Amino acid sequence: MTNLEKYINAFVESLEVAAEDVPALKYGESDQWDSVGHMSLIAALEDAFDIMVDMDDIIDLSSFEKGKEILAKYDVEI
């Protein structure tokens, strides 16, 4: 699996959305991406890329696009 596939898959599994809807996702704009969904998403990303995300980045990860920038800080190229 490529990093992009792994990245999309983390959203699909934790927020229970279709892969084609993932790129448009934003925190609070879909029913599943609330605070509970957010923590599932962070856990899924941490598992997928074997990283530990800092609090500052957890609260910054507010969209699909933003998440890519954040993962770059952890040397994960999407």
Partner 1 sequence: MMWRFDRFGDAVALKDEYGQTLTYSQLKAEGEALCKAAGGRCLTFNLCQNTIGSVVGYTAFIENGIVPALLNAAIDHELFAALYETYHPAFLWAPEGFGWEDCESVYERFGYRLLKTPFGFETQLYPDLALLLTTSGSTGSPKFVRQSYANIRANTSSIVEYLRLDETEKPITTLPMNYTYGLSIINSHLDVGATVLLTDKGIAQREFWQFFRAEGATSFGGVPYTYEMLDRMRFLRMDLPTLRTMTQAGGKLLPELHQKFVEWCQNNGKQFIVMYGQCEATARMAYLPWEKSLEKVGCMGVAIPGGRFELIDVNGGIITESNVTGELRYYGDNVTLGYAESGADLVRGDERGGVLETGDMAQRDEDGYYRIVGRKKRFLKMYGNRVNLDETERMLKAAFPDCECACAGRDDHMMIFSTVESRLPEMRAFLSEKTGLNASGFHTMHLEAIPKNDSGKTLYRELEKYNV
Site residues for partner 1 per CB under 8 A: 14, 16, 27-28, 31-32, 34-40, 42-43, 54-55, 58-60, 62
Residue 2 C-beta: closest distance to partner 1, Å: 26
Which of residues 12 and 58 has its CB atom nearest to partner 1 in the complex? 58
Which of residues 3 and 62 has its CB atom nearest to partner 1 in the complex? 62
CB within 8 Å of 74: residues ≥ 6 apart: 49, 51, 53
Residue 19 C-beta: closest distance to partner 1, Å: 17
